[in-house]
Chains A and B, each alone.
Chain A
């Protein structure tokens, strides 16, 4: 399986660490809604098809990536920095900008 890191380019899956379901929504830190916390910590979708996942490029730039992967075919339809626009553009150049 190849994951195309927006910073490093296409890399083998062995360079990455799976960091869990990307659909988890963390409740507001001060929230006392126990159901919401429980769902966040324990409930998983496990779909047969496209799945929103977090992968860390732990053997590379160490960025966390939001990856949409088809659990039936391993086809990856999108990869983006999990941090969204916050860190990526400023701190990290794109792969094609590399000297």
Chain B
């Protein structure tokens, strides 16, 4: 046993030795130890250097609120910084290092910052680095000069850059009652709710259930409180309506009683079990929540209160009783309340000498005197600690007479020799979750604490009930009674109360004296983690910061990773005094999630890497097996080119487009959006949705349609086929399929619910192949059975039904390429079969497969628009589609499309461009009247699509240009400084190729 480890007691396993390293030094501890308890047992007092001043710091607490002892844990290449040593469970092979020191923890060169305290006071960064630049090294420029050094000197642990190999997972859970905290209150609540048959989740951020019962030394039901906890946990474990979540921090309280929790599943293990994640993120939907989160002990603010060896009183009690560790051998205490006396006695019993108890109160109760006597401690009533001594460990302290009412110190300072000083400033309920849920904390003058308000009954959004110390009920008797009542109420139970577990009443008054600060010479810390002193708070006030939120930001009080868990009330009290206002008028800050730091990995869980689903057409495998280079278009994968060996992309698409126009080409168009529009009012509905008429469309014919948005801008285009009197097949652009579907559903559901129309997305039900070119009809004639495909049977925009290689097909004669062309649709399952049959039939005719590049080339040659032109800013007129705007009926967008801004003559209109220098053009390039390469300006429009046109033998483009048609035949320039492409172009009609359409009409 090490000198500071007790021989018996605590919840550690002395037979199990665990080996770990801290700053490269090998240590041993026991199963059940935290890094903090194991190092304290070895006499380690120095854990880290402080944020701004690099002051040596030890352990302040024993739990999640630890502001000082922050360490980095290394796992291979992965480093996790800023972990409280009080929350790190040791395991064999654990490698932890201290932070914010250089070159080593004991010899830190930046400790010189301690001498420069005046410089690094409140608002130091704002004052020094903000504002105008006067000289060469002032203000912002000075910041840029100093940043490198300051960033290195000030701050917390360094984040790693190695890829985290750990696995994280997310769980969704549902329960009737979520109990947060497993102290006596939480235990009772979980048991009471479970006895009612409720589905219960009990979560505690510690590895051990039991909370204060693990270290209070009390007896419950005649046995040690720890035994009562063990028994109760066994009972709960045996029930199938209870889920126990140790090491689980409930960190967020959201709408509809949704809570977020982080379970540290395997951080405490040398190796996670097979399949075990490192952390698990729980999204818990609870019908009600019992908050039994306990309370945090507060430090007192006095000079030197941050020296290693100065610790919260209950933390020391906990180290002694739960971990069998004495934080010191000669211990002094400094308190404003009764709870420290129990700690003194516990440490005495564990083997330490209690040298003195300094109490700010002039009168101490007889009960407390009795405890002090048992602890063989001298009581110094009406005294305060005014200084501490020592370097990397405490060697002594000084006390002086103190008047609690005036705050005045008097008499000579007396030195006390001690290696550990315990302080207690009373307790603050852990109201964070209630605050997140929207509850406004109420100041309780007796407890000198913010207490949660009475919960709003029956709020549908947040249903919680508090119990125990969270309510400011600090005794175990109250916790047990309130816990059971809360559990019953949360479960909706009305069972007659059975006898409560018996607890011996503990002596002591829960109300502290309203003293948090001793004003004496020297740095007195309020926020240990951010190195904010009481003087910083006052300085901020003197400089005019009177709002609590401003003060927080200016001093950074409470803004470190511990979020001011221990500093909140002492900070407010100092501010209140400076403002001359009572604390409740200064107000508390609202706590926001997360309650404690959360690993980013747990939030992402399994959702990382490439998350996009892939949409593949029925013929996808054929394309990849036949030389296609695939291209991702939204979620879809489509062939870009079917390149031959040695071909460039341009050579391939030029060959494909040329062959299509010379003989025939085939392209997969399965990605087009397809929506079945059916019902007695389907035709009427389409008349309202499209700008042109569809009710006049004959069965067996298709029509090109244009949709506008309600605001009059163009939305989408496509052909719609009338398959029956009440049966239409609408096609949309690939990109807008989902949007159009939602648009139609919205109008049918919300605007015109009286229309008897059903819309169904059938995009994935159909495989589509477009076959075009002078030989296209001959190819179809050679393979289609059951129908003729000649001009009489299948005129332009006609539809026929037939078979190809035994599979039913629907063929519509329509053209995007400008050639005589047909779209052949078959059931998706027959897609490849039909495609292969068409390819086979096309062989004698020189049929080529073509991809998106050739498709785009031919559409540019024809001047058809796509999403590049229907970009949400263009109108039908801008795109020369005004011929499609019916005057015989209103349609979506018709009322807004004639607004003056939308009919202005200087709008950007669709035109064609021909590069006069015969060089490639670029999408997005600007068009200017006068070229000024040095100072590009005067854009009159931009290129939306471009290609080399094999039909014209030129580099061409579509563009949106001011004035549009009026500029046909005139010259302009492309101005593309990003790609350094400048040159003359001719503005022409967007219909470059076969403007009369003789080829497609045949």
Contact = CB atoms under 8 A, between A and B. Distances in A.
Contacts of B155: none
Interface stretch (B420-428, B670-678, B746-754): B746-754
Interface string B780-792: 0000000000000
Nearest to A70: B461
Given A17-B742, A73-B438, A74-B461, A29 B890 contact: yes
B461 A26 contact: no
Contact of B746 (A27, A56, A73, A74): A56
B896 A41 contact: yes
B145 to A, nearest CB: 46
A86 B754 contact: yes
A26 B750 CA distance: 10
A7 to B, nearest CB: 12
Interface in A76-99: 76, 81-84, 86-87
A34 B749 contact: no
Given A73-B438, A86-B753, A30 B890 contact: yes
A21 to B, nearest CB: 11
Contacts of A76: 460
A91 B895 CA distance: 33
Contacts of A27: 895
B255 A84 contact: no
Interface in A40-76: 40-42, 54, 56, 58, 62-64, 73-76
A19 interface: yes
Given A26-B751, A41-B711, A75-B460, A32 B746 contact: no
Interface string B725-755: 0000000000000000010011011110110
A87 B460 contact: no
B895 A31 contact: yes
Interface string A1-43: 1100000000000000101000000110111101001101110
B895 A54 contact: no
A83 B742 contact: no
B454 to A, nearest CB: 18
Contact of A56 (B438, B742, B890, B891): B742
Interface of B: 255-256, 438, 459-461, 688, 710-711, 742, 745-746, 748-751, 753-754, 890-891, 894-896, 899
Given A82-B753, A84-B753, 11 more contacts: A19-B742, A19-B746, A27-B895, A29-B688, A30-B890, A34-B899, A40-B710, A56-B742, A75-B459, A81-B749, A87-B749
Contacts of A41: 710-711, 896
25 contacts: A1-B256, A19-B750, A27-B895, A29-B890, A29-B891, A29-B894, A41-B711, A41-B896, A42-B711, A54-B746, A56-B745, A58-B742, A64-B750, A73-B438, A75-B459, A75-B460, A75-B461, A81-B749, A82-B749, A83-B748, A83-B749, A83-B753, A86-B753, A86-B754, A87-B749
B895 A34 contact: yes
Nearest to A27: B895
A54 B899 CA distance: 27
A2 B688 CA distance: 34
Given A27-B895, A41-B896, A62 B745 contact: yes
Contacts of B746: 19, 54, 56, 64
B605 to A, nearest CB: 14
A70 B437 CA distance: 16
A-B pairs, top 9 by smallest CB distance, nearest first, are A86-B753, A83-B753, A64-B749, A29-B890, A2-B256, A37-B895, A82-B750, A74-B255, A83-B749
A86 B756 CA distance: 9
Contacts of B894: 29
Query: At the interface, is chain A mostly helix, strand, loop or mixed?
Result: loop
Nearest to A31: B895
A40 B754 CA distance: 20
A32 to B, nearest CB: 7
Contact of A83 (B460, B750, B891): B750
A53 to B, nearest CB: 11
A29 B688 CA distance: 9
Contacts of A42: 711
Given A64-B746, A75-B461, A37 B896 contact: yes
Among B742, B745, B749, B896, residue most surrounded by chain A Cβ atoms (within 10 Å): B749
A56 B896 CA distance: 25
A27 to B, nearest CB: 7
Contacts of B688: 29
Interface of A: 1-2, 17, 19, 26-27, 29-32, 34, 37-38, 40-42, 54, 56, 58, 62-64, 73-76, 81-84, 86-87
Contact of A73 (B461, B710, B748, B750): B461
A74 B459 CA distance: 12
Among B438, B890, B895, residue most surrounded by chain A Cβ atoms (within 10 Å): B895
Nearest to B285: A2
A37 to B, nearest CB: 4
A58 B741 CA distance: 11
A54 B750 contact: yes
Contact of A64 (B256, B745, B890): B745
A17 B746 CA distance: 11
A26 B745 CA distance: 16
Contacts of B461: 73-75
A18 B256 CA distance: 18
Contacts of B745: 56, 62, 64
Contacts of B460: 75-76
Contacts of B749: 56, 63-64, 81-83, 87
Nearest to A64: B749
A77 to B, nearest CB: 9
A26 B752 CA distance: 10
Contacts of A62: 745
A66 B461 CA distance: 19
Contacts of B891: 29
A90 B890 CA distance: 30
A87 B438 contact: no
Contacts of B255: 1-2, 74
Contacts of A75: 459-461
B857 to A, nearest CB: 36
Nearest to A87: B753
A72 B711 CA distance: 30
B50 to A, nearest CB: 41
A19 B747 CA distance: 11
A30 to B, nearest CB: 5
A1 B256 CA distance: 6
B463 to A, nearest CB: 12
A26 B749 CA distance: 14
Contacts of B256: 1-2, 74
Nearest to B710: A41
A56 B744 CA distance: 12
A31 B895 CA distance: 8
A2 B438 CA distance: 18
A30 B754 CA distance: 17
B307 to A, nearest CB: 47
A56 B747 CA distance: 12
Contacts of A58: 742
Nearest to A84: B753
A82 B754 CA distance: 12
A34 B897 CA distance: 11
B258 to A, nearest CB: 8
A29 B747 CA distance: 12
A27 B256 CA distance: 37
Contacts of B896: 37-38, 41
Contacts of A32: 895
B247 to A, nearest CB: 26
Nearest to A75: B461
Nearest to A63: B749
A74 B461 CA distance: 8
B983 to A, nearest CB: 42
B194 to A, nearest CB: 24
A81 B748 CA distance: 12
Contacts of B742: 17, 19, 56, 58
